[in-house]
A = this chain, B = another copy of it.
Amino acid sequence: MSDVLGLLRAELGERVDTDPGSLDEARADKSGHRSPERGIAVVHAASVADVQATMRIAHRTGTPVVVRGAGTGLAGGANTGRGEIALSLRSMDRIVEVRADDLLAVVEPGILNAALNERLAAHGLWWAPDPASRDISTVGGNIATGAGGLLCAKYGVVRDAVLGLDVVLADGRLISVGHRSVKGVTGYDLTALMIGSEGTLGVVVGATLKLRRLVPGTTRTLTATFPDVRAAAVASAAVTASGAQPAIMELMDAESLAASHALLGLPSPLTGAAQLTVQTDGIAAADEQAAIAAVLTAAGGAVRLATDDAEAAQLWQVRRSMHPAMERLGTTLIEDVSVPRSALPAMFDEIARIETEFGVTIPTVCHAGDGNLHPNFVFEGAVVPGHIWDAADALFRAALALGGTLTGEHGIGVLKSRWLADELGADQDALQRGIKAVFDPTGILNPGKVFASQP
C-alpha cells in the first residue's frame, strides 16, 4: 500500500489526496451505504493522462480502483474501501466541443448534468437525460449508471443519448468506441456496453453526446388527485394507453404526498389520497394537457390546471419535496424497480401486500410515464435492518414477476448485487462475468460491485 502511494505520488504529486476527510467522503454515496474502512487515496484526475497514469500503477500493483464522479449514486457503486484507490473525475469538467449543426457535444465526464445543460441552452440545445440529481450529478456518473429521469418516456434515457465514448482500460490504454455520425454499426456496440457498467469495464474519460434542440413553446402543468394510489395508477396507465404523450408524469402515493405536505406546511391531503402531476410540452402542450385532463377526470381524478408558471412551480414543489420529507422521518433506502406501465396498478397492490406482510410503510413515488417506481424504506440508524431487506427482497421478486426489473435507473452497485443473478439467470450471469473478465482480467475495476462474489 505504501508502495502504491509512493508510485502515485511520484507520478501525480498533489493530485494524490490522503486527507482523512477526503477518504471518508469517498467511502459513501447518497444511498446511505458506507464502506466499512477507508481507501488508500483519492486521486483527483485533471486529465486523461492522469487517469492513464493511475490505471497503469493500479495494473502493475494489482490495486483496485473505484471511479467516482460527484458521489450522488444510490446503490453504493462508487463507495471506496480498504486497499482501494478512489479515482475522482470530478475535476475533468470541460466542454470540449459543441456542434449545433451536428447536434452533438464532446465533454469530459466530471461536468454536472445541469451545468452542461445551462451551457447548451445558449446554443438552443439540451442533453435529454434528467435524473432527479441533475443539479449535483455528473455526466460521467449518469453514463456509468445508465441514468434515466423524469422525461424518459418522451425523450429517452442515457443509452439513447450517447454517440461515443473515450475509455481508459484497466491497464491504462485509451480506446475510443462509437462514432460522431447518427448511424454506425461497425463491430459490437461497445458504447452501449459501457453505459450502465458502473465502473467495472473501464474509465469513461470523454463522451460524445447526442443533443436535442430546445423544445419550442411553453410547458403546461396539472395535478389530479385520487382517493387512493391504485386509482391513480390505473389513471396513469390510462393516460399512456390513450396515446397522449406527457413530457413528465409523476405519481405520489398517500404516505409521500402527506409527508411532502407536512414539510411544506400545506393542509393535509385527504387520508389515503394519491396524486399525479403531469407536464406537457412542445407546440401541442395545451392540446395534450386538455386530452390528459379529460382522461384523468374520466378516471375519477380531481384535476387542477396550473394557470401560470408560478402555480406550476408550486405544484412541482410538492413532488420535489419528497426526498427531504423522507429524510425527516429517518434513514431511507430508496428502491428503484421498474415495470411495464400497464402493470403499475398491480405493482402498487404488491407494495400494499408487502407493507402488511412485513409491518412496514413504503412511501412510494413513481415516474408513471415510464413505469419506474421509487419505494422508500424508512428506518432508524445507519444499517439497513434485516426485516427491511426481507421486504425489499419481496419487492424485487414482485417486480420481476410482473415483467419488470430490479433497477430502472440507479444501478446494482453493492446494494442490489445479491439479486443480480435472480434477474439475469445463471447462464446470462456467467456471460456477463465473462465480458467483465475480457475488459478487466485481473479484477481491479470496482471489484465487489455489480457482481458481488463468485456464483
CB distance from A43 to the nearest CB of B (A): 23
Q: Which residues on B sit within 8 Å (CB–CB) of A156? A: 160
Query: Measured between alpha carbons, how far is A9 from B198 in the docked complex, in Å?
Result: 47
Q: List residues of A (342-361) whose CB comes within 8 Å of B's CBs.
A: 342
Interface size on A, residues (CB 8 A): 80
**Hey, which chain B residues are within 8 Å of A311, CB to CB?**
none
The interface residues of chain B lying within 8 Å CB-to-CB of A49 are none
B425–A176 touching, CB < 8 Å: yes
A175 at the interface (CB under 8 A from B): yes
Of the stretches A100-108, A253-261, A268-276, A299-307, the one at the interface is A100-108
A23 within 8 A of B: no
Known: A99-B340, A101-B241, A196-B189. A184 touches B408 (CB 8 A): yes
**Residues 148-183 of A at the B interface (beta carbon under 8 Å):** 148, 152-153, 156-157, 159-160, 169, 173, 175-177, 179-183
B184 touches A102 (CB 8 A): no
Query: Which B residues are CB-close (under 8 A) to A283?
Result: 283-284
A329 in contact (CB, < 8 A)? no
Q: Which among A30-38, A60-68, A86-94, A399-407 touches the partner chain?
A: A399-407
Contact A431 B420 (CB under 8 A): no
What is the 8 Å Cβ interface bit string for chain A, positions 368-392, against chain B (1 contact, 0 not)?
0011100000000000000000000
A450–B187 touching, CB < 8 Å: yes
B182 contacts A424, C-beta separation under 8 Å: no
B187 near A195: Cβ-Cβ < 8 Å: no
Given A146-B185, A184-B338, A341-B101, A431:B179 Cβ within 8 A: no
The reply on A445 being an interface residue by CB < 8 A is no
Q: Which of B100, B169, B192, B423 contacts A186 (CB 8 A)?
A: B423
Residues of chain B within 8 A (CB-CB) of A1 are none
User: B101 and A183: CB pair below 8 A?
Assistant: no
> With the chains together, A45 CA to B183 CA distance in Å?
32
| Known A-B contacts A435-B438, A438-B435; A408 and B185 likewise in contact (beta carbons under 8 Å) | yes
Q: Are B432 and A190 in contact (CB under 8 A)?
A: yes
A219 CB to nearest B CB, Å: 17
At the interface, yes or no: A213 with Cβ under 8 Å from chain B? yes
Given contacts A146-B185, A189-B192, A437-B438, 11 further A-B contacts (CB under 8 A): A101-B241, A102-B342, A181-B339, A183-B338, A183-B408, A183-B409, A184-B338, A185-B412, A186-B420, A187-B412, A431-B439
